[in-house]
Amino acid sequence: MPLTIRDVQLDDTQALLDIYTPYVETTWVTFETIIPALTEFRRRIEQYRFTLGFPYKVAELDGGIAGYAYAHPFHEREAYRFTAETSVYIKQDLRRGGIGTELYKAVLEDLKQSGFHTVIAILGYPNEASKRFHEKFGFSEVGYFREVGHKLDRWLDTGYLEKFL
């Protein structure tokens, strides 16, 4: 069955949280350290997609959800209204299969069509694979902060990457 990219539905919440959970537990891809409750995760989807209207895409493969990507406000101040921050999460056993690429293409195209000007990706470092992934889409690193996060018994850096649409 081919890969299908579609808009998120609230019924997807548990499947998306199941994908996100191992990233919280075992990686520094997210700096979140406690798995959010299902109600909190659903609230985030409702806020970003349905209240604020940001793109929130789901990839389906072989009848199941393989990953998701979304955008949300970079900052809350009004002058940032044409700037979005993006994230992408793929089932651990399906990474590096092109799913993230298709999801990101869809999210970036939706942002462009909606009149956004700048896209920001904030990466937990070290993470060369994610940095290369973003560079493939034309992102460039514009900032680097050392030891700003602490997770899994180590100090972590962050890189800020940007892309103009």
d(CA 146, CA 74): 20
Phi/psi of residue 18, each to 5°? Answer: -65, -35
Q: What does the domain layout of the chain look like in residue ranges? A: 4-164
d(CA 38, CA 91): 18
Query: What token pair was written down for 31?
Result: 């700096």
Residue 94, pLDDT score? 76
Residue 1, pLDDT score? 62
Burial bucket for residue 73 (CB in 10 Å: 0-12, 13-18, 19+):
middle
Instruction: Select from 78, 137, 132, 73 the least CA-distant residue to 104.
Output: 137
d(CA 99, CA 56): 14
Residue 44, pLDDT score? 98
- Long-range contacts (CB closer than 8 Å, 24 or more residues apart) made by 49-53: 49/7, 49/8, 53/114
Residue by residue, pLDDT tens for the chain (165 residues) are 689 999 999 999 999 999 999 999 999 999 999 999 999 999 999 999 999 999 999 999 988 999 999 999 999 999 999 999 999 999 988 787 799 999 999 999 999 999 999 999 999 998 999 999 999 999 999 999 999 999 999 999 999 999 999
CATH code given to domain 4-164 = 3.40.630.30
* Beta strands per DSSP E along the chain: 4-7, 56-61, 64-73, 83-90, 118-125, 140-151, 154-164
Look at residue 164 and give its three-state secondary structure: strand
By the 8 A CB rule, do 64 and 16 touch?
A: no
